[in-house]
Each structure stands twice: as structure tokens, then as C-alpha cells.
Structure 1
């Protein structure tokens, strides 16, 4: 009998659905830090991943065949070793589309509609209007989405509701709904030059490490907005700070950073034109539910001997 080990606590209904889908399997569940390493060594299927079990999961005698992660990014997993062992890897891409999209527009509206400044004034019990002609609107601006996967596609859909022109950058250059113009990664400099807002949702790969550097920030329109909800390491922080200080970037909403937690003495904390959140953009009360939906769809295919249909990671491109 094969074993399915879930590092996500399952509801009775979810456990029942797994039993119906994979009747020949034993189900073991619990929080990641509580599961015995010996149990991980016996797993054929893992729902969830923890670096604490990396050596155990990669044991030469392990029957592990498939890992369904609870994260969209897989850059922290031992991808080369997993590929060598022919272990299939599926991620949680799509789980974050709604909460991250809402966070993106929360960042933007907090600046254009004076909400970030008003929050600080509220703490001081100060009534201070900025002047009617200093408040901006999103309508009519051009938003560039760097990394148009499921999150970027949802962001593009909502952007249209705000009356934004939408451009995108993606590795394939393939068109998606609601994006008016798509660029390949080679066109990033041209793309940012035409944008009023740049939203970074790129995954971390060898190609995207520090892709937002001095050269790219210098190509930005002066006074534009920059939001990062992708990976902290895709942005060269020193270059970002310089662009914020010299006015190339008027406002930045940042949820991810090269170093996390962001050190208390970091320069970004003191910048009035920066809004910081502690890597929570993808969090939602519906997270576990959505991860399970992906897992169950894949499990149905796995038990039927078919290719996994949702979010199968391509080890060549690392996502």
C-alpha cells in the first residue's frame, strides 16, 4: 500500500475525497514540523514540502514519486536532485491570483488616493488635505505586468476594470486575454519605457536574478510606480533605492525583499514613497482550500496513470 503524506491538515471531507480517489493508499497528515521523518521516508506522494525533510525525502530507498508543494515558487527546492530521481513536482500556481491581485491594487490605490499618507495623519490626529489637484487616478495609465502567468492574467483583467492600458512581459511572449501588447523578456527595456506602472510578478530563475537593476530602472519613465509581489531577488535593492531617491520611481509597493525579514535599520523603512508589507500578498483564508483543489485534480490523474494536468514544474526552466 502506497502512502500519501499531507503536511496540510485535512478536513474530514478532504480526507474522504482522497480516499475515494486513491482507495489503495494510506493517508497520513499533520503539520510539517510534527511529522516523523521515518514517515516521510515511506511516502510515495507528498502534499507540502519542508526543507527539514529534504535529506529524508531524497533517500535512495525512498519510494517518493510526486510532490505537490503549497507554494508557487519552487526555487528553494532541490530541483536537480528531484529531476535525477524522476520525482514529479507540481506547484500551487493559481492559488495566489486573487489575493495578490487585490494587494497590487491596494498598493496603487494607497498612493494615488492618499490613503497611505492619511493613515499616518490619522495616528497623529491631524486633518490635512493634500489639495484636490495632487490626487491621481489609475484610469488612463499604462500598467506593465512582468511575469504574466495566472496572477498576471488576473491582474490584467482587473486592470481593465480600472480603465488601464495593459502591457505584459513573459518568457514565451504568448498573448493572453486583457493584455493589449505582449513582449518577450528581450523586450523588457522597451516595455518599461512605455509604462506608468510596473508590476513585478516574475519567478526567480537564473534569467531573472537581479533583472530589475540600474539599467532597467534607468529606462523607466520618470515618476512612475513600481510594485514587487514576485521574488525579492529579482530586484537589485541598491538600484531600487537609488531610483527611489532620485525620483525615477515616485512610489513603490513592496511585499518581497532580497533579505527577509527586512532588517530594522534598512533604508527602505524610512522612505515616505515606499509602502512595505511583510511577504503576505499571497496569503488568504482560502489558501488551504485552493491548494487541495489542485492536489485532488492531480491525484485523479496520477491514480489513473495520466500526466498531471495542473502546474507540473518543468525542471529546465525551474517553474
Structure 2
């Protein structure tokens, strides 16, 4: 088959599903049921390690997370045409030793939209309604009232209007917030009042009440949220980091908190994970720390497999995948 012919049929009869052994047993039944219902003519082989991959076998599609042993597993195969990753972020694959130009590759874009945007809304409410303060007071059986603020009319600025950022914008509009955000290629985005280039974000930062970072970790974004960027924020803003560890510089966050630029920060990812026990971030009352959980959801696997199915249908009906991994972005 000529895979470059976009109108050629793309049958999937044999699927290889890879997963960590301790997770595989929990997922087998759901994966088999979901794939069986959508692709009844396909058979699925499961492997919890590279050694379990049938040597010399050929598969139409491989479904896998970005496992460290993925290259070893692929090397055992005689042929495979398509890899679908169970994650939306695939940064790890570029350092892996397998040919990224030979197979077609797709990712599970959009699976994080609901949980991560809900996390960001929760973090905004946490600081706006002072839940941390009231939690501490309740432990002391202390009745101390105070006037609370609200989200209505506040500005949310989103660094990265991808699936997560757009999902967050829709939810923020339910609170009557103003929404601005960045895109690499400018275009109108539903529920976003102003879309700007990252290089032009300064004007929006000056009126930002909540800055949410949803950017992937790339050469361009590494260390992007630094002391200089944060210094442009409106005084008393709140930073929420649900990106990838390394986009936001931890020492810059501490500086901005000490200077009063930031009123608070909700941090789900860090430059070093787990966050070291001696990090000064742990001891701050103005920081909400969570252990990289903003994207977790009981619906993750279902959505990721559904993403595979949508890609399969789109390839056969329209001739192209809906969530491709662009090799050209790296090579």
C-alpha cells in the first residue's frame, strides 16, 4: 500500500497494545471492549514488556504510552505502520532510538481538556474564596469572617490556547471573566476576547488577574516564565502552572511572590519532580502545591482510545488523521 495516497483505504486488522505491566491488567478488559466495538474485525495483542512483544510479527497499529522500552519493543517487530500515543504530550519520543519518519504517528490530543481546565478553575476559586485560609481556621475551630472577592470581571490570560487553553476559556466565560491568550499562528478563538502572539503578551499581562500556563515544553518555551515575564504582571495576580516542568522557573515564582507581584501560585509541575523536600515552595502559605495531578481523570483511557478510533475513521473517510504528530516540527 502506498501510505502517501491520502485516498487509499487504511485497514487496521492487527493492533499491538503496549503498557506497563502493573497497569496493563487493569486496562485490558476496557481496551478490548472499546476497540472490539469500534473495529470488530481487528485483533488486539497485549504486551507488558518488550520481551512479551512477538518477535518478527507485523501490526497495522501500535497503541502505547511514551514507554522507556518502546524502542526495544518496536525493534522486535517486522513491520508496523502506525503508532498512536496514549498521551497528548510526546516530547519524550524525540530522544528515543526509533525511526520517527517511517511510521505514521498520532497522539491523544484533547484528553486533558476537561480535567486540567477544571483544575485551573478550582485554583482560581481557591485563592479568590480563600479556601486555604478557611481550611486552616477550621482546623483550629476558629470563626473569623472576611470579605471575599469573585471571578466576575477578572481577566484570565492563558499562555497556550491549545485544547486545554480553549477548554479553560469556555469554562472561564461561565464566570463572566475576560479572557486573553496566546497562539503561535493568530486566529480568532471561540470564547477568547483577545488572541495575541507570545511576543506581544506584555500588554495583557499588565491587566491580568490570573495567568495560566498551558504550554508544552520545547526549546522555545523552556524557562519562558521567568522573572522578567512575571515582572510585567498586574500586582496581586495569581499564577497557575499546568504546563510541563521547566516552562516556569521556580526561583522566579518565589521572587515574584516576595515582591508582591504575585498574590499566590498554584503549581502542579516543577523543574525537578518530585519537588525536593527542601524546596522553599513547600513552606509558603501563598502557594498551592499538587503532585502533577491536574490531568488525571477516570475517563483518561476511554478518551485516549476514542482518539485512536477517531483517527482511524478520519484517515479512512477524509484521508488524514485528526491528531497527527508532526515530524517536521523536530527534523
TM exceeding 0.5 = yes
Partner of 2:69: helix, strand, or coil?
helix
Residue from 33, 36, 58 that aligns with 1:13: 33
Secondary structure of the corresponding residue to residue 68 of structure 1: strand
Shift of 1:124: 3.0
Change (3 A) 1:271 1:165: same
Instruction: Determine if the alignment matches structure 1 residue 214 to structure 2 residue 238.
Output: no
Matching residue of 2:5: none
Equivalent residue, structure 1, for 2:246: 233
- What's the counterpart of residue 193 of structure 1? 206
Equivalent residues of 1:90, 1:313 under 8 A apart: yes
Structure-1 residue corresponding to 2:111: 95
Query: Partner residue of 2:169?
Result: 156
Distance in 2 separating the partners of 1:143 and 1:177: 15
1:27 aligned to 2:44? Answer: yes
| C-alpha contact (below 8 Å) 1:225/1:251 kept by paired residues | yes
* Runs (5+) with no aligned partner, structure 1: none
Find the aligned partners of 2:166 and 2:252 in 1 and give their Cα distance.
Answer: 28
CA positional deviation for 1:182: 0.4
- Figure out how many residues of one structure are paired with residues of the other and give that number: 309
In structure 2, do the counterparts of structure 1 residues 317 and 193 end up closer, same or farther at CA, with 3 Å as the change threshold? farther
Report the equivalent of 1:312.
324
CA RMSD of aligned residues (A): 2.4
Cα gap change, 1:249 to 1:75, in 2 (>3 Å):
same
Find the residue that maps to 1:194 and give its secondary structure: coil
2 CA distance for matches of 1:153 and 1:99?
A: 13
Deviation at 1:138, TM superposition (A): 0.9
CA offsets 1:32-84 (integer angstroms, 9 cap, x no match): x4564433874442212243323324529642322211211111113686564
Deviations 1:69-126 (A, max 9, x none): 1211111113686564322222222111111111101111111112121122223333
**Aligned residue number for residue 4 of structure 1:** 15
**Aligned-partner SS, 2:243:** coil
Partner residue in 1 for 2:75: 59
- Output the CA distance in 1 between the equivalents of 2:200 and 2:52: 47
Alignment of 1:1-319 (within 5 A): 3-6=14-17, 7=19, 8-11=27-30, 12-20=32-40, 23=41, 25-29=42-46, 33-34=48-49, 36-39=51-54, 42=57, 43-59=59-75, 62-78=78-94, 84-129=100-145, 131-132=146-147, 135-302=148-315, 306-309=319-322, 311-317=323-329
Indicate how the Cα distance of structure 1 residues 82 and 188 shifts in structure 2: closer, same or farther if over 3 A, else same.
Answer: farther
- In the alignment, is the contact (CA less than 8 A) between 1:144 and 1:168 conserved in 2? yes
In the TM superposition, residue 302 of structure 1 has moved relative to its aligned partner by: 4.7
Deviation (angstroms), 1:236: 1.4
Pick closer, same or farther for the CA change 1:206–1:280 going to 2, 3 Å.
Answer: same
Q: Indicate conservation of the 8 Å contact 1:10/1:29, yes or no.
A: no
2: CA distance, partners of 1:93 / 1:281: 15
Taking structure 2 as the reference length, what is the TM-score of the superposition? Answer: 0.85
Contact 1:82 1:88 in 2 (8 A): no
TM normalised by structure 1 equals 0.88
1:237-276 Cα shifts (integer Å, max 9, x gaps): 1111111121111111111111111111111111111111
**Other structure's SS at 1:145 match:** strand
